Amino acid sequence: MQQQLEQALTVLKQNHLKVTKQRKALLSYLLANQDHYHDVTLVDDYMRQQFPGMSHNTIYRNIKEFEQAGMVEQQVQGDHARVKYQCDFSHLHHHHFICQRCGKVTELKDCPIDIFAAQLPGCQIVGHRIELYGVCAECQLAAAESNTH
Q: For residue 38, say whether it is annotated as part of any ligand binding site.
A: no
**Greatest pairwise CA separation for the chain in angstroms:** 57
Determine the residue type at 19: V
Q: For residue 80, say whether it is annotated as part of any ligand binding site.
A: no
Q: For residue 102, say whether it is annotated as part of any ligand binding site.
A: yes
Q: For residue 111, say whether it is annotated as part of any ligand binding site.
A: no
Give the start-end residues of each E strand in 26-87. 38-39, 72-77, 80-85
What pairs with residue 105 in β-bridges?
A: 98
For residues 30, 67, 126, 93, the Cα torsion angle rounded to the nearest 10 degrees is: -40
Q: For residue 123, say whether it is annotated as part of any ligand binding site.
A: no
Q: What is the spatial distance between Cα 81 and Cα 101, in angstroms, rounded to a whole number? A: 19
Q: For residue 96, say whether it is annotated as part of any ligand binding site.
A: no
Give the start-end residues of each E strand in the chain. 38-39, 72-77, 80-85, 95-99, 105-108, 131-134
Binding site for Zn(2+): which residues?
Answer: 99, 102, 136, 139
Binding site: which residues?
Answer: 93, 99, 102, 128, 136, 139
Binding site for Fe cation: which residues?
Answer: 93, 128
